[in-house]
Structure 1
Amino acid sequence: MQRRKFIRTAGIGAAGVAAASTVAAPAIAQSMPEVKWRLTSSFPKSLDTLYGGSELFAKLISEMSDNKFQIRVFAAGEIVPGLQVADAVQNGTVECGQTAAYYYFGKHPNFVFETGLPFSMNQRQYYAWLEFGGGHELINDFYKEYNFRSLTFGGTGCQMGGWFRKEIKSMDDMKGLKFRVGGFAGLILERLGVVPQQIAGGDIYPALEKGTIDACEWVGPYDDEKLGFNKVAKYYYYPGWWEGASVGSLYINNKAWDSLPKTYQAMMEAAAGRVTSWMVPKYDAGNPAALRRLVAAGTELRPFPRTVLEPCFLEAYKYYDELAAKDPKFKKIYDNMKAFRADENLWFRVAENTFDNFNFSMSAQGR
């Protein structure tokens, strides 16, 4: 109000105010350096939520910087294959990359933590651990060995258990299956007789169609419908216990990050935060209709029986304890997460779970 009064009493009219505004914006923009980066994604363009997150990110950066900071996005395979994003960022081939950290657990088991440890927490709990439980600090401290840092970059919520050509009634039905599955789930299932396969998203359908694999999991109905898995597998199982939460990663080369002005670093953090707040709701909004279409087209929806879930859970935590006993780096993050998980589950059992169970039961009655 005081500024407006000053303008009026100084005799500056509307035209003068407009002129002042048009001078100010370019002056700010001129103080910003022109920066051009490349972002390589692990995902194909057809996935408008995962890959679309990178497009949204680049758009926001451009708008916030008045086009001074431009990030060009490349889909999987355009610069490097989808499973080589971490290497491309580490060696500086690109400045940044969108990926799922657990693709690289072969480098070290700790890469599983940012995406989601099987049977650990749901999406909200996982975000809470990363932001306020020390998760992100521990993970980025580990990433120093690989010459990059990470920003949380969206997520999917709890995923589906995948597409199978036959019914799964017990672990006996899983034995010998060549199953495309990401991250630690493959290691856990391998201990129980499954033959895990790690394949990038755009390559899964032809492998399933040709019989190179017997079953596959990806994300959920919205993406799975786009990838066409229902055309070559009939049974659709849930839940994807390996990703009760799934968190995306934006890897940024450390040298490239350090070269940015603080203003641009803040823009990247803000834009990544917007992608994170955008992605899960987009999946939540799109999954119900996609699931209805899949079922209408002949897909048979099945829950994994407890005779599958319980052995997998027990084997998972047996494996984690073994890793923690021999790998101090794994133990450092695992112990922190496990303690946080215990508190979160106690809290969610009190209010969230009680409300959800009651509300869902009423909805099932058509009320």
Structure 2
Amino acid sequence: MTSRRKFLTTATIGGAAALAAPSVVKAQAPIKWRLQTYSGAPLGAHVIKPQIEAFNKAANGEMEIELFYADQLVPTGELFRALQNGTLDAVQSDDATMASPADISDFGGYFPFSSRYSLDLPVLFNRYGLNEIWQEAYDDIEGVEWLGAGAWDPLHIFTTEKKIESLDDMRGLRVFGVPTAGRFLSRYGMIPVTVPWEDVEVALQTGELDGVAWCGFTEAYEVGWADICKYALLNNVTGAWCGSYFANSDSWAKVPPHLQELFKMSMDQSHYYRQVWYWGGEADLRVNGDKLELSTIPAEEWETVVGDAAGFWDELASRNERSARVIEIFKKYRDTMQKAGVPYRY
């Protein structure tokens, strides 16, 4: 005690002040991001909102993401440009819908018969080389970082007044859908129509649209389209929508490594949530849903569509070297699954 009293009475003013008032470390202002998704609010409540809420909580004040739904800040078709110029910090969308200039963008969204089940897609990316090809493609584009892809629901066709029971029944139907699948279906006389996502419901009610080729049963019920449409075609064009997360390069570079890793972990959690939500929802609503009358195109007729898809694949493969590699992977995967048999293919 004697030594302490002597120290306090003989300490310099600066020393005493330093002892009396310990320094306080000020927390930096949180990193702020604006992220827009392709989906409207009802669907976004499942496909992204839980992830963003979880990330913001786990970031513990270091980073905060503000979520915007389809067309709230920019039109969906301008998402890529807005991301590249920094209007947005991040985007959740498929490559085709957001008008990505990447030479593999046609494979985003629904690429005809590239998958049968939602689990096929992450396997193609993580075990068959699509991750590396997508990374290469976006490394060639300045200003945008591709962060990873995941699977959504299968593609079915829902119509308001006309039941589809043959390929001829598709002729003349004006349908809202994803670009690549729409281009493929147009060979059967279907007319792809683009409207803002939020306007789809009204367009179905007024007759501007005859249907949607945008989603599976889970979405059709969740967003209210099943309340307007009368019919659902069970033949599906592909097993899973391919969507990705993207970030503005400058925005991503400002995020410290531990928060980058946290965001990627939240992406994986979101992919898992959707796998379960869609997989369970599709089966339940086909069996127990009471809003849609189901129809089927006979198997022998539908096989002609599957055969046409082979030519569509080759057409895409001829466009550039990377697309050719993607198609080669699809073919290898298809052959492997067919040879594996049950439960991979029946």
TM over 0.5: yes
The TM-score with structure 1 as length reference comes to 0.78
What pairs with 1:275-294 in structure 2 (closer than 5 Å)? 275-288=270-283, 290-291=285-286, 294=289
Structure 1 residue 325 corresponds to structure 2 residue 318: yes
1:292 Cα offset (Å): 5.8
Which of 249, 257, 265 pairs up with 1:262?
257
Which region of structure 1 is more displaced relative to structure 2, 329-338 or 102-111?
A: 102-111
Q: Indicate if the aligned counterparts of 1:83 and 1:200 stay in contact, CA closer than 8 A.
A: no
The 8 Å contact of residues 230 and 294 in structure 1, kept in 2 or not, is answered as no
Q: Tell me the residue number matched to 2:175.
A: 179
Q: CA shift at 1:156, angstroms?
A: 2.5
Matches of 1:115 and 1:339 in 2, distance apart? 20
Partner of 1:217, secondary structure, is strand
The match for 2:125 among 113, 125, 130 is 130
Decide whether aligned partners of structure 1 residues 177 and 108 sit closer, same or farther in structure 2, where only a CA change above 3 A counts: farther
Contact 1:51 / 1:75 at 8 angstroms: preserved in 2?
A: no
1:300 aligns with 2:296: no
Alignment of 1:26-41 (within 5 A): 34-41=30-37
Structure 1 segment 193-232 matched on structure 2, within 5 A: 193-232=189-228
Q: Secondary structure at the match of 2:156?
A: coil
Quote how far apart the aligned CAs of 1:125 are.
1.6
1:150 aligns with 2:146: yes
The answer to whether the 8 A contact 1:116-1:246 is kept is yes
Structure 1: which 5+ runs fail to align?
A: 1-25, 355-367
The equivalent residue for 1:309 is 302
**CA offset digits 1:43-64 (Å, max 9, x no partner):** 11122xx443322222222232
* TM-score (structure 2 length as normaliser): 0.82
* 1:321 maps to amino acid: D
Rounded Cα–Cα distance in structure 1 between residues aligned with 2:99 and 2:300: 27
Deviation at 1:205, TM superposition (A): 1.4
CA change 1:147–1:303 in 2 (3 A) is farther
Q: Is the 8 A contact 1:156 1:280 kept in 2?
A: yes
1:276 Cα deviation from its structure 2 partner: 0.6
2:188 is aligned to 192
Q: Contact 1:135–1:337 at 8 Å: present in 2 too? A: no
CA separation of 1:66 and 1:158: change in aligned 2, threshold 3 A: same
Native 8 Å contact 1:164 1:236 kept in 2: no
Letter of the 2:182 partner, please give it: G
- The one-letter amino acid paired with 2:53 is K
Hey, what's the Cα distance between the residues in 1 that align with 2:336 and 2:142? 32
Name the % identity: 22
Question: What are structure 2's unaligned runs of at least 5 residues?
Answer: 1-23
| 1:233 maps to 2:251 | no
In 2, distance between residues paired with 1:155 and 1:138? 17
Q: Please say if 1:96 is aligned against 2:90.
A: yes
Distance in 2 (CA, whole Å) between partners of 1:200 and 1:307 is 36
Equivalent residue pairs, number: 321
Which of 330, 333, 338 is the aligned partner of 1:337?
330
Q: CA deviation at 1:247?
A: 2.8
Does structure 1 conserve the Cα–Cα contact (< 8 Å) formed by 2:153 and 2:216?
no
Tell which deviates more after alignment, 97-106 or 62-71. 97-106
Instruction: Return the match for 2:241 from 243, 246, 250.
Output: 246
Deviates more, 1:143-152 or 1:201-210: 143-152
State the alpha-carbon separation in 2 of the partners of residues 178 and 152 from structure 1: 32
- Shift, 1:327, TM fit: 2.6
CA 1:316–1:108: 2 relative to 1, 3 Å: farther
- Rg comparison, structure with higher value: 2
Secondary structure of the structure 2 residue equivalent to 1:278: helix
* Counterpart code for 2:312: Y
Q: Residues of 1 paired with 2:248 and 2:191: CA distance?
A: 34
Correspondence for 2:5: none
- Aligned residue number for residue 114 of structure 2: 120
Greater helix fraction, Structure 1 or Structure 2? 1
